[in-house]
Structure 1
């Protein structure tokens, strides 16, 4: 769980900026978007195969 503690004399804007940075580094939003809709096992296999082909092309 991402947590930001306010320091002394720290504004809300800077704390919010730190929070957003931590959330993006943790990959929380990307994971949320990925899990937004149910994905069947066939769709998972297809997505992983496409990703593997894409990864193989770069090596």
Structure 2
């Protein structure tokens, strides 16, 4: 569970910012989005392979652009 402590002299907007940072760093929202619905293992694998292909193509384009 992500939590922060607020002192009496602390501002609420600073506390909110710190809380958001902690939640982002811990990956709670990412995990929540990932588990929003059930994804069959075969579908998850297909998505992962497609993402890897996209990433590889983008890397190749960047590398080709750098050689010119």
TM, length-normalised to structure 1:
0.79
**Structure 1 segments (4+ residues) deviating >3 Å:** none
Higher helix share: 2
Gaps of 5+ in 2: 61-68
Map of 1:44 onto structure 2: 44
What CA RMSD, in Å, does the superposition of the two structures yield over aligned residues?
1.6
Q: Which has more radius of gyration? A: 2
How many corresponding residue pairs?
A: 59
Gaps of 5+ in 1: none
TM, length-normalised to structure 2:
0.71
